[in-house]
Structure 1
């Protein structure tokens, strides 16, 4: 009995002693690794809208059918991700990290050879599942590796994803225009590299769990004041709606603005992609600066300003010259996505310790349901024309006024510390 119990007591003691260090140390190699995988994952997701013009021409698709492809990708991710996130908060599964990238690898391989519309839909579902498996556990790893620098870790993690999304237009220009649909085959190498990095990250993740790492405030089993619980729920609904609207407008630009540029200005496809890249790259920079700006001006204020501040540029976009369209896309992309990481941090403060659940709600459900917006936009373009649709989309960021109903930072911090 002693021979068996002594090691157990020793392990428990070591875990207790290690816990403060595990909680406080910032592990940059893991943060960078998981950020690079986020870049890999989202750059592969960016392949889907990047290949839309090629698929539309090759398969003679309508805008509505293009919208269904975006819908399949986003809804697959959004429906599965909250479930995975909720389960991960209760039973962490490091193995999901390499398995998720494995699903993405299969999806990209199938996309390269898909010769009909059904196979294209199946391939994007596989890619969507891979993303759903990655994000909750990836966010938990970023939180775990952050130590006391939670805001910095979130910025590093999210910038990887937004940088990956910004590569989509360049992928169209450099790969899909010259090589066509088979160009997707090259991304199997990126997915394979992602699997390899995820194996390394998952091993570290498992070691940390075995060493006794636990997420703070996980044991929130004590009674919560009903009024506060109601306020938190209301804030969650508003936050999800805000992310949904932001995603909807982003889907309009990322999926369809290429066609608008070609239609209004007569640009070639490869030239049109430069404008989408500028918008998304500016958004990635905005994500990086969002954390420090929120520290200075407040989280709720930044969420409000990032949405409402986009309105003038979004409304003017359909009426300006080709040059000014590029300028407005740069400014609008920076402003709109400056709140990307801030909304995640805000949600984490609403639900301390439930990192996977928060990921499922904010970067999964709300962001993924932007695919519904993409589907509706595709149908609207078929019905009333692309110019009228982009004029209407310019009003979407006005819904950012809902941020006025969010609790202020002092209230949020009081809830998080209680």
Structure 2
């Protein structure tokens, strides 16, 4: 990330992309917090695989339904206020999730967090696009913020709940509050710039390519099922394969999420060198053997393959967003809602089925189909064209490779 030169003696301001990445980290922290809660819910409340996967479903089912709706709303008008409001909804939902012993109330609290995450992504991705000024690398940094938020969730949630039990979940609202305070000024500036960019994009945008966007969406769905399936159950799977209690599960989750950080950064840089579509294809081809390693290779090697799997699954993460925005240049909010938000949420819809199969036949059997989904994602990605990016540059109003300060 870069910043523009500041006058001598003045305070150097963070780049707009860095600020948006910070906000993205604090919201996606709550996506990572849900699977991090699962081992503690199993330990303190005796939930089985199906009940635990239902909690993951709570964070994702409503999110999957409302995500395109929020995207369509942001295509009609700039809604910067939605970003802080949705951030607080996510934080409050997770904060309430450990209070009381009712499964229904826990489910509803986690569902509130999921709706907050769903509302956040379309408008945030639009403003991040404005901040990035057409740079794939900058969008990679924005996506990295979300990846780091995911990765930090088990690091924070594990010690907090180990020390205080599920009753300590109210402390988990702190990242949301910090994210709102840290980004509100930048959001105002970017919202004004995005309104100008919307007018320019309307004059210069190419036609929307729905058939190709739907193919990309299918790729996103495959990736989502694979990654959410791994994140929901790798904590419990690691305890089975390696031994140890919830601390082992938290370590496996951190390894999975942290491995994605390198992949997210690499994705933007590889796209500059090889092109986005080629990078996406190669990443999914590599995902087949490494996800197979997570499922099939015994012992502590699971942690190595988890890191590799996260890396290759996150290489295309930010590229999905910019590709979707280029395939639907007049519906950036919708494209962002599907490629960025639904990338995480839709996989949770399948997680109860993985949990039920895990109870019936073991987690190893339940996770094995994820290998085939990686192969399907690679096959679907082979049919994606590299889009014309002139409209992307026009809508952001700047050449690639630059970011701005706020």
Give the TM-score band, short-chain normalised. 0.7 to 0.9
Partner of residue 53, structure 1:
39
Does 2:283 correspond to 1:297? no
Q: Where does the alignment leave 5 or more consecutive residues of structure 2 unmatched?
A: 1-12, 395-406
Does 2:195 correspond to 1:217? no
Alignment of 1:371-382 (within 5 A): 371-382=348-359
Does 2:257 correspond to 1:280? yes
Partner of residue 186, structure 2:
201
Query: Which of the numbers 115, 122, 129 marks the counterpart of 1:143?
Result: 129
| Alignment root-mean-square deviation, CA | 2.4
**Superposition deviation, residue 365 in structure 1:** 3.0
**Superposition deviation, residue 215 in structure 1:** 5.4
CA distance in 2, matches of 1:164, 1:221: 33
Instruction: Provide TM-score, normalisation by structure 1.
Output: 0.84
Partner of residue 16, structure 1:
none
CA distance in 1, matches of 2:205, 2:323: 21
After superposition, the Cα gap between the structure-2 partners of 1:252 and 1:88, relative to the gap in structure 1 and judged at 3 Å, is same
Query: Which of the numbers 382, 389, 393 marks the counterpart of 1:404?
Result: 382
Tell me the secondary structure at the aligned position of residue 113 of structure 1. Answer: coil
CA distance in 2, matches of 1:198, 1:273: 29
**Superposition deviation, residue 395 in structure 1:** 2.4
Does 2:159 correspond to 1:174? yes
After superposition, the Cα gap between the structure-2 partners of 1:209 and 1:341, relative to the gap in structure 1 and judged at 3 Å, is closer
Partner of residue 68, structure 1:
54
Tell me the secondary structure at the aligned position of residue 41 of structure 2. Answer: helix
Does 2:113 correspond to 1:127? yes
Query: Which of the numbers 81, 101, 109 marks the counterpart of 1:95?
Result: 81
CA distance in 1, matches of 2:217, 2:374: 14
Conserved 8 A contact 1:172-1:270: no
Q: How many residues align?
A: 381
Q: Where does the alignment leave 5 or more consecutive residues of structure 1 unmatched?
A: 1-26
Does 2:138 correspond to 1:153? yes
Tell me the secondary structure at the aligned position of residue 405 of structure 1. Answer: coil
Instruction: Provide TM-score, normalisation by structure 2.
Output: 0.87
Tell me the secondary structure at the aligned position of residue 395 of structure 1. Answer: helix
Does 2:337 correspond to 1:360? yes
Query: Which of the numbers 48, 61, 64 marks the counterpart of 1:78?
Result: 64
After superposition, the Cα gap between the structure-2 partners of 1:142 and 1:337, relative to the gap in structure 1 and judged at 3 Å, is same
CA distance in 1, matches of 2:241, 2:338: 37
Tell me the secondary structure at the aligned position of residue 310 of structure 1. Answer: helix
Conserved 8 A contact 2:33-2:153: yes
Query: Which of the numbers 282, 288, 307 marks the counterpart of 1:330?
Result: 307
Partner of residue 170, structure 2:
185
**Superposition deviation, residue 346 in structure 1:** 0.9
**Superposition deviation, residue 349 in structure 1:** 1.1
Tell me the secondary structure at the aligned position of residue 217 of structure 1. Answer: helix
After superposition, the Cα gap between the structure-2 partners of 1:215 and 1:82, relative to the gap in structure 1 and judged at 3 Å, is farther
Partner of residue 397, structure 2:
none
Partner of residue 103, structure 2:
117
**Superposition deviation, residue 413 in structure 1:** 4.3
**Superposition deviation, residue 339 in structure 1:** 0.6
Tell me the alpha carbon deviations over residues 253-309 of structure 1, each in whole angstroms, 9 at most, x when there is no partner.
211011111112223321232222122111121011101112222211211111121
Query: Which of the numbers 152, 164, 181 marks the counterpart of 2:149?
Result: 164
After superposition, the Cα gap between the structure-2 partners of 1:333 and 1:220, relative to the gap in structure 1 and judged at 3 Å, is same
CA distance in 1, matches of 2:393, 2:28: 33
**Superposition deviation, residue 206 in structure 1:** 4.6
